Amino acid sequence: MKLKTIGLCVAGAFSMAMAAGPAQAEPTFSLESQDVTFTITVIDETQGTFQFEIENLLNASGDWGDVTHIFALGFKGFGTDFDITASTITPSGQTASNAELNAKGCAGGDSTGQFCFEYSTLLAATNDLTFTIDLAGSFDSDLINPHLKVNFTDSTGRKIGDLLSMDIPPNGNVPEPASGTLALLGLGLLGGSLWARRRRGLTRTSMAMA
């Protein structure tokens, strides 16, 4: 009776875990430069969507101390399976291209696998900025160290400080095991425990009958 009750409880827990689906953390990449933190968080690699955050910008040190606006953003390392001309970014008001970002904006040579967003009207800086980017396609599932470029300016469009151009390393956010996998592991351990208990019981019964 006890074994039957335990089995029913485990089966119920397993069903709930499978219904919940996999619990998985989204890959994130982050770096800090001149007291400003830049973070890329993958939302859905199959749809080509990710979030880009700039934190503590108005408290930047070094040659970014006078930043008031953003002129352009550039990215590399996301693969090639997307259509940058159909992409969208929020906040909007920019043009998108496969050009290289340099000191003059998205004015470098075109190259497959890179993309650049240039704001026709300078984007006013706030201390924390969040961009949501949809590449109208997909990007590499094994995304590693995406490259980021940012062109900071003042209110007149004069470039402020060095053009940020750096790889963004993973921040150690490792996907968690799927709940179904954990449930199967638990079932295996419980089954082994019940088998061992039953074997001990049969051994004692055999010894008592001898």
Encode pLDDT of 20-76 as tens digits. Answer: 454 455 789 999 999 999 999 999 989 999 999 999 999 999 999 999 999 999 999
Encode pLDDT of 162-203 as tens digits. Answer: 999 999 999 854 444 444 444 444 545 555 555 456 555 544
> What dotted CATH number matches 28-167?
2.60.40
Query: What does the block give as tokens for 163?
Result: 């053009």
Helix (H) / strand (E) containing 72: strand 69-76
Backbone angles phi, psi at 62, to 5 degrees: 65, -145
Q: What angle do CA 27, 32, 36 make, to 5 degrees?
A: 115
Helices 179-209 and 2-20: angle between axes, nearest 10 degrees: 170
Whole-number mean pLDDT of the chain?
A: 80
Under 8 Å between Cβ of 28 and 171: yes
